[in-house]
Amino acid sequence: LGERFSPHDQVRPSMLSYQHAYHAGNFADVHKHLWLYATIEHLLRKNSAITFIDAHAGRGSYPLAAEETARLKEYQTGVKRLWDSRTETGKAGAQNPLLTTWLEAIDSVQPRPQQLTHYPGSPWWLGHRLRDQDRLTLFELHPGEHGHLARQSLAGEGQQANIRRVHGDGLAGLRSLLPVKTPRLCVLVDPSFERKSEYQEVAETMIHALGKVRHAVLLLWYPLLPAGRHQELLDRLRASGVRKLWRSEVILHPPGGASHGMYGSGMLVANPPWGVSDSMQATIADWLPLLGDAARHEQRWWVEE
Ligand code: SAM
């Protein structure tokens, strides 16, 4: 189960207040987990072993009726709209192959099939297809969140020994694991961005990781907020000389106006497997009408090959 890990830990658990349960299943989770799912599907087409690392794991599963999740009900405009569209002929979830299998995967974690009561977190998305040759390490710093993660099942029984759940800082933890023994590496970096300095720390860790494992597939999620801090992170990565960074952003409405909140969701993917961006283009185009008239998707190379 859990273990304590803090060799270079500069973040005290007491500094953490973010809890993902308040946002589970929202449009940003859908954006991030569709990318994660599509990427994993592509990587599993080859037999060679993969090390998966989730630097900011959160929980394996979020009950939608939990007090925190039920307070804001953000899942209603996220996963729930797609889920409901499955049965409406001609709608996104009924048509698009990636959306269909993604929703089937979500169905497989429901205690009662066909009833959406739970939403899986990234540890489950990374763990549920784990093969004998693959490894998964999950970092979670918040003691309460780590407690949930430690109790939750993420894979079939045979694969449990391949999963490590570490109570500690994910950025320091990621650095400590590199280089890895397997031929391939896939990393999710999904911080809560509670401290301004996190943008810089994330950029430096990604540059370090891609310096150690040049071919690593690294998925970074970032929020689009009116303050625009994500731009510093993206600019630092571009200036560093790392290659092959793909950028995908789902934008709900233009920044500003009355809302100071998140207006969009961003993914930066280093070394995206060939074909994933095309399948995400089609998938997000089918999902977009469910997000309102102003919603749009923009994707392109941030740094080319
Ligand atoms: N990756 C999850 C998913 O997609 O389902 C959601 C993760 S949530 C956005 C960020 C998580 O990172 C929170 O659970 C938070 O407690 C944890 N966290 C914050 N700082 C961390 C750090 N330095 N190292 C590891 N985990 C951290």
Higher pLDDT, 180 or 16: 180
Residue 11: closest CA among 173, 223, 144, 206: 173
What is the reported pTM?
Answer: 0.94
Q: Is 170 in the pocket of ligand 1 (CB under 6 A)?
A: yes
Q: Please tell me the predicted confidence (pLDDT) of residue 106.
A: 97
Pocket residue to mutate for ligand 1, from 124, 141, 146, 186, most atoms within 8 A of Cβ:
141
> pLDDT tens for residues 63-75?
999 999 999 999 9
> pLDDT tens for residues 217-243?
999 999 999 999 999 999 999 999 999
> pLDDT tens for residues 29-55?
999 999 999 999 999 999 999 999 999
Q: Please tell me the predicted confidence (pLDDT) of residue 233.
A: 97
CA atoms lying within 13 Å on the CB side of residue 14? 0
6 has pLDDT over 50: no
Q: Is 122 in the pocket of ligand 1 (CB under 6 A)?
A: yes
| Alpha-carbon span 295 to 263, nearest angstrom | 10
Q: 164 pLDDT band (50/70/90 cuts)? A: very high
- Closest-CA residue, ligand 1 atom 13, reads 58
Q: Please tell me the predicted confidence (pLDDT) of residue 12.
A: 59
For helices 197-212 and 230-240, give the axis angle rounded to 10 degrees: 30
Q: Is 20 in the pocket of ligand 1 (CB under 6 A)?
A: yes
> pLDDT tens for residues 165-185?
999 999 999 999 999 999 999
Buried b (16+ CB within 10 A) or exposed e, 82-98: bbebbeeeebbbeebeb
Close Cβ partners of 65 (under 8 Å, ≥ 6 residues apart): 117
Q: 256 pLDDT band (50/70/90 cuts)? A: confident
